[in-house]
Structure 1
Amino acid sequence: MASILMAASEGLPFVKTGGLADVIGSLPAALSEMGHEVKVVLPLYKKIAEKNFQDLTYCTSFNIGMNYKDVPVTIYSQTIGKVAYFFVQHQGYFERDALYGYQDDGERFAFFQKAVIEMLNRLNYWPNIVHCHDWQTGMIPCMVRETRSGDPRYQRIKFVYTIHNLLFQGNFGPEMVDSCLSLPWYLFDNGNIRFDGGVSFMKSGILYSDKVTTVSPTYAQEILTPQFGEHMEAILNMRKYDLWGIVNGIDTSLWNPNTDPTIPFNYNKVTLAKGKTEDKLALQRELGLNQDPNVMLVGVVGRLTYQKGFYLMMEKVQQLAEAPIQLAILGTGEDAIQNSFRNMENNNKGKVCFYQGYNEDLAHRIYAGSDLFLMPSLFEPCGLSQLCSLRYGTLPLVRETGGLKDTVNPYNEYDKSGNGFSFTNYSSDELMATMYNAIDVYYNRPEDWKTLVRNALNTDVSWENSAKVYSQLYGQLV
């Protein structure tokens, strides 16, 4: 069994902006159950400090060089279950209102990565594997290989680098090389860390790690192509024999319709029909939709961005409004999408509700109370929402891309197989054709619908199988 340090920029149960936090909240625990020793290191953000500081234990303090001066670092820790969490404290860099989106993000996360590297030395903690996640930790393998080459303790460490979303690459100006990363300029000149005229944290992670993973088998293949490669396809093809696609899971104790405290009526496979009907009626009341247990209720939960395919819905607002369905939409994002959904609600009161913002408890109630869950993504590295909807017996309607293709099997009217509905091309016409097919099955083939719901509930969306694949990957390195 391996000793593993996971380095990430966010993670549950402490802080979350996206799916990365769910992975960091669930995968370490699943690996620990298999016998691995897993620790996690995160920045000590303002949200964590305000909520958890009294539970943290002081570990060590030291200075690291940033912008040609010494900057102080303090490391704290907390253990939850079998997983130990380290936190890198610097109030100026991390105790801000948001996690990302600042002009100095490159400097902030260069500091974080340098602190993680030195933390190993100060704590005399030498894991077999450092598993880095997304651009915010992509420079760690490079900095260890290039600046600690004379220290055998560091050189024994193996690196795994996981791409959660290739769109966000951590690309910054070349001045970072010396001032923030303390790397020799020849690494920029020879192209090792250079990308598009600047420094790329993600490119460095891809090139310097022993293994590269991403969050579904289909996405691992897609990113080798110009269509999905975000201009990094050539770099990824250099590492394609070390590239693994491992689908994410979800925390099935947190997402469990039988015990979920945020939904009005709990249910299991036996009590599903009554439970989902009651949850639907409660959701309709909460959102101001017309009370009707028999209408198909379609749920949407997610970031309202072009990546998630909502422009397809915008093209078909009239058809969606005229279809025999109700829509419950929860999310926040681009103004154009928000305005479209707000107008859609205003013109279809009682039939459409748009809740602008994010509300975790309401998300649970939408998964539980909906019949169909809509996720027509342009691209989707893995996706967690479709896994949550399957867990609640709500059939996902998705576009066949990335993790959506790997986890949703389309309805087959002949052998009654499948756990949802899907369409292939990024086309609003195909979206609506698939929607009309789902509507037809819901109203006219209720026995088929029940079979699909049963298939959804029987789909394994846990971390167990994925953790076994990660364990195999670590085994190849240790």
Structure 2
Amino acid sequence: MKLLFAASEAVPLVKTGGLADVAGALPGALAALGVDVRVVLPAYRGALARLVEPQRLGELVVRGQRFTVWSGCLPGSTLVHWLIDYPWLYARDGDPYHDPQHQPWTDNAWRFGCFSEAVARLAMGEAGGWKPDVVHCHDWQTGLVPAWLKLRDGAPRCVFTIHNLAYGGVFPRSQFNALGLPPGWWSLDGVEFHGQLSMLKAGLVFSDAITTVSPTYAREIRTPAFGHGFEGLLEHLSPRLSGILNGIDDSIWNPASDPHLVQTYNAGSVRVGKRANRRAIQQELGLPQDEDAVVVGMIGRLTDQKGFDLLLAALPGLLKLPIQLVVLGSGDKQLENALAREALQAPGRIGLKLGFDEGLAHRIEAGSDLFLMPSRFEPCGLNQMYSQRYGTVPVVHRTGGLADTVTDATPRTLKQGTATGVVFEHADAGGLVWGITRGVELMRNDLAALGLIHAGMSRDFGWPAAARQYRALYG
């Protein structure tokens, strides 16, 4: 089976979120199952230099412009990556979607509309002659790929994965016209969405199968509370919709071999290892080495979706508990400023670093006792899986992939030895405080804490299981 895997980001070439982790790990897991995979991305600034001896695969003419396609592998890998190169569109400062001031690029419709058309032409063998059986597209940036392929005889079939329905790739109708899209696509059964162009809707309507990144999220997005206006369409398309839980790269997220930790550990040495990493993050973030405090970690994009506003609202109640809070993230400037003010007002209780620091992220996972994820919605989530692997007890809102991956500590699950965390029902300040209070109680009970830690560390969240489900879907 031949597969073209199309995404707008993938580690280690470029990352802004969980999509990059999926696109960086799932293709390799599929290749290990015998799937012939090519990964295609835009050639962002510096990406081409990361490939080993890239070769020019060919050229594609898209919207009257010539795009160069490069082929190569990453160091130490045999997985083939194709980069679609047009420097004026892709080789820019900033991240793939935003300028250095974190504003969306004003020509994103053109950038990813052209990328999608180029991917569709690649899938028809127009550069290099290699033609896949299936094209796997991800999020709105590749939403027009299935639409273009539906116009071609003998085209590959398409799978479209929703990583976050909140990002619909919505643009004014003028962008539909500028991209020269077929007039017949402008309809309720096509790409029109409340009078605008939605690239995500194109992916939903024109693909042969739709997946999300967890089973619970696949059900949630068919309801008004989580559907972002697409719930009616998704209910209509439900026969082709399924949820496949993301995995994690357990070669990178492995406490026994993690180079970012001050001391590695396994289930047998978890107490000693976590204590050493706990002291390291306390020192790194300017917190006192309080052995009695329960360290609560939180990492992520500073957005309301991730519940950072709920954290701020809950702080008066949280700071009454014997905890130290460690936070790493960046995003909304108002949330950044509010967290910075709270950290100044609670010295010794809140350790904050604004920005992204991969090493510190690993050390927070290893050194925390509890890991907080109060997301209002969470398609899959990765940190709750990292936490369990690192013997850190996740405290999560019951939604999406969080509900699918964390087993709540009830009297029954604790007795069975299957409990791995704390799950709270309401995404509000009260629910958050209740969850952390429950977590602190469990950490104060040595038998319960050790049971939670060992149950979490024994869970298998690796990619092979997901890869087998995707391979079956491609078939």
Corresponding residue pairs, total: 461
Alpha-carbon offset, residue 53 of structure 1: 6.0
Worse-matched range after superposition: 430-439 or 205-214: 430-439
- 1:269 equivalent among 267, 285, 301: 267
**d(CA) in 1 for partners of 2:405 and 2:369?**
18
Alpha-carbon offset, residue 427 of structure 1: 2.3
Asked if the contact 2:51/2:73 (under 8 Å) is kept, the reply is no
In structure 1, what is the equivalent of residue 126 of structure 2? 121
Output one character per residue of 1:24-45: Cα deviation in whole Å (capped at 9) or x when no partner. Answer: 0110011111111111100000
**d(CA) in 1 for partners of 2:71 and 2:181?**
29
In structure 2, what is the equivalent of residue 77 of structure 1? 71
Alpha-carbon offset, residue 345 of structure 1: 1.2
In structure 2, what is the equivalent of residue 323 of structure 1? 321
Output one character per residue of 1:351-392: Cα deviation in whole Å (capped at 9) or x when no partner. Answer: 211101111111001001101000000000000111111111
Alpha-carbon offset, residue 234 of structure 1: 1.0
In structure 2, what is the equivalent of residue 144 of structure 1? 149
Q: Say if 1:420 and 1:74 are closer, same or farther in 2 by CA, change over 3 A.
A: same
- 1:88 equivalent among 84, 88, 97: 84
Give yes or no for the alignment of 1:133 onto 2:138: yes
Q: Which amino acid aligns with 2:463?
A: W
Alpha-carbon offset, residue 178 of structure 1: 3.9
Output one character per residue of 1:425-462: Cα deviation in whole Å (capped at 9) or x when no partner. Answer: 2221122112111111212x111100000001011111
- 1:368 equivalent among 363, 366, 369: 366
Q: Which amino acid aligns with 1:124?
A: G
Worse-matched range after superposition: 363-372 or 107-116: 107-116
Q: How does 1:29-40 map to 2 (within 5 A)?
A: 29-40=28-39
Asked if the contact 1:247/1:466 (under 8 Å) is kept, the reply is yes
**d(CA) in 1 for partners of 2:338 and 2:461?**
33
Q: Which amino acid aligns with 2:68?
A: T
Worse-matched range after superposition: 222-231 or 457-466: 457-466
- 1:378 equivalent among 376, 382, 397: 376
Q: Say if 1:123 and 1:244 are closer, same or farther in 2 by CA, change over 3 A.
A: same
Output one character per residue of 1:109-143: Cα deviation in whole Å (capped at 9) or x when no partner. Answer: 11111212223322111111000000000111111
Alpha-carbon offset, residue 415 of structure 1: 4.4
Alpha-carbon offset, residue 322 of structure 1: 2.3
Q: Does the residue aligned with 1:56 lie in a helix, a strand or coil?
A: strand
Output one character per residue of 1:93-112: Cα deviation in whole Å (capped at 9) or x when no partner. Answer: 00111210201000001111
Worse-matched range after superposition: 121-130 or 169-178: 169-178
Asked if the contact 1:11/1:25 (under 8 Å) is kept, the reply is yes
Alpha-carbon offset, residue 175 of structure 1: 2.7
Asked if the contact 1:280/1:293 (under 8 Å) is kept, the reply is no
Alpha-carbon offset, residue 62 of structure 1: 3.5
In structure 1, what is the equivalent of residue 105 of structure 2? 102
Output one character per residue of 1:71-94: Cα deviation in whole Å (capped at 9) or x when no partner. Answer: 111010112434210000001000
Q: How does 1:394-405 map to 2 (within 5 A)?
A: 394-405=392-403
Q: How does 1:297-336 map to 2 (within 5 A)?
A: 297-336=295-334
Q: Does the residue aligned with 2:80 lie in a helix, a strand or coil?
A: strand
Q: How does 1:392-431 map to 2 (within 5 A)?
A: 392-416=390-414, 417-431=418-432
**d(CA) in 2 for partners of 1:397 and 1:435?**
7
Q: Say if 1:190 and 1:297 are closer, same or farther in 2 by CA, change over 3 A.
A: closer
In structure 2, what is the equivalent of residue 238 of structure 1? 236
In structure 1, what is the equivalent of residue 101 of structure 2? none
Percent identity for Structure 1 against Structure 2: 39
Q: Which amino acid aligns with 2:392?
A: T
Asked if the contact 2:214/2:404 (under 8 Å) is kept, the reply is yes
Q: How does 1:187-198 map to 2 (within 5 A)?
A: 187-189=185-187, 191-198=189-196
In structure 1, what is the equivalent of residue 472 of structure 2? 472
Gapped runs of 5+ residues in structure 2?
A: 98-103
Q: Does the residue aligned with 2:411 lie in a helix, a strand or coil?
A: coil
Give yes or no for the alignment of 1:63 onto 2:66: no
Q: Which amino acid aligns with 2:113?
A: A
**d(CA) in 2 for partners of 1:47 and 1:370?**
35
**d(CA) in 2 for partners of 1:178 and 1:350?**
56
**d(CA) in 2 for partners of 1:251 and 1:281?**
26
Asked if the contact 1:15/1:47 (under 8 Å) is kept, the reply is no
Give yes or no for the alignment of 1:337 onto 2:342: no
Q: Which amino acid aligns with 1:87?
A: L
Q: Which amino acid aligns with 1:431?
A: L
Q: Which amino acid aligns with 2:105?
A: Y
**d(CA) in 2 for partners of 1:200 and 1:207?**
11
Q: Say if 1:250 and 1:184 are closer, same or farther in 2 by CA, change over 3 A.
A: same
TM-score by length of 2: 0.94
Alpha-carbon offset, residue 47 of structure 1: 3.5
**d(CA) in 2 for partners of 1:53 and 1:261?**
24
Q: Which amino acid aligns with 1:247?
A: L
Worse-matched range after superposition: 76-85 or 308-317: 76-85
Asked if the contact 1:277/1:369 (under 8 Å) is kept, the reply is yes
TM-score by length of 1: 0.94
Q: Say if 1:448 and 1:190 are closer, same or farther in 2 by CA, change over 3 A.
A: closer
Alpha-carbon offset, residue 12 of structure 1: 0.9
Asked if the contact 1:177/1:199 (under 8 Å) is kept, the reply is yes
Worse-matched range after superposition: 19-28 or 320-329: 320-329
Asked if the contact 2:413/2:419 (under 8 Å) is kept, the reply is no
Q: Which amino acid aligns with 1:420?
A: G
**d(CA) in 2 for partners of 1:55 and 1:318?**
56
Output one character per residue of 1:277-322: Cα deviation in whole Å (capped at 9) or x when no partner. Answer: 1111111111111112332111010001000012221112212222
